[in-house]
Amino acid sequence: MAKRSPEDEIDLLIDNLVDNARKGADDATQRIIKLLDKYLDGFQLSDGSFVLSEQNSRLLTGLDSEIAKAINASTYPSSVSEIVRSLPEIERLSEMVLRQYNTNFAFDFDRLGVSQLRLMQTETIVQNMTGTGLTAEIRQPIRDAINRNVFAGAKVTDTKARLRDFLLASESDKFNRMARYANVWAQDGIMQYDGMIYDRFRTEYAPNSIRYIGSLIGDSRPQCVRWITKYNGKIPMSKLQSEINWAYNSGSGMNLATTKETFCTYRGGYNCRHKAIPVFESEGEDNG
């Protein structure tokens, strides 16, 4: 069997880590649903509807910590830790990619200072997957929904049903809500770290081109299609800013943090699986 390229090794590692994150999110979701079914039964009711009472106020106050316990009891936190532990391996493979695409240019990888990047990206991944990101997309909406229903005197059975609908996948969704976000957070967290290393290389050594690599699929964004087809995957550095402008004006899904300086990090936008590798192209090569 042919040896895998470092790019393929990165893709395989991401696939495994993202799959584990989704499975962890599935486990956490089921635990949250079981918790809410039991927790809501402890609220004071009148004819099956919530009432305003000190008991219910206390239960509302304690809801966040109970949801946190349910998530922490699942396999989700360990999947996040696994992603963080993978970053040194991403560094090793990213260095191999840079050397593979810049065979005629000798460089000192240590000059890129990737240990600082790792600390920054670790914080981003943890915040998205267990902190502010998880709060905004999962914990806060649950808390707000229960608060509204309690103060509105809603039926507890209706509240449980709405929360299940919120958390679980609909017929048109491949994954449940938390798994969808975990998929994006995990994939972007790792892919952006790979790209941050390439951006640091670009800043440090000033290569003259970007190799935009990866396959195209049915829902590939217009900018990704353009960069792989129009430029044959080779974007001259002199045209990079105008191409970013084109993507903002005529493309879709761009991360608003994307600039010429962060292009390798954010590439074609959220959840993009393409790689943008800075390279030194020889004068004779077709560069778009």
Q: List pLDDT tens digits, range 159-202.
A: 999 999 999 977 677 899 999 999 999 999 999 999 999 999 99
pLDDT at 126 over 80: yes
What pLDDT digit, counting tens, does each position of 242-267 carry?
Answer: 999 999 999 999 999 999 999 999 99
Across the range 123-152, mean pLDDT stands at: 96
Domain boundaries, the chain: 6-192, 206-288
Burial class (CB in 10 A: 0-12, 13-18, 19+), 85: exposed
Cα(188)–Cα(122) distance, integer angstroms:
12
Q: Tell me the three state secondary structure of residue 70.
A: helix
Q: What pTM value is reported for the model?
A: 0.91
> What pLDDT is stored for residue 284 in this prediction?
53
Q: Strand pairing partners for 45?
A: 50
Rounded Cα distance between 233 and 287, Å, is 9
- Residue 1 has a pLDDT of 62
Q: Which residues lie closer than 8 Å to 279 by C-beta, 6 or more apart?
A: 101, 102, 207, 208, 209, 210, 211
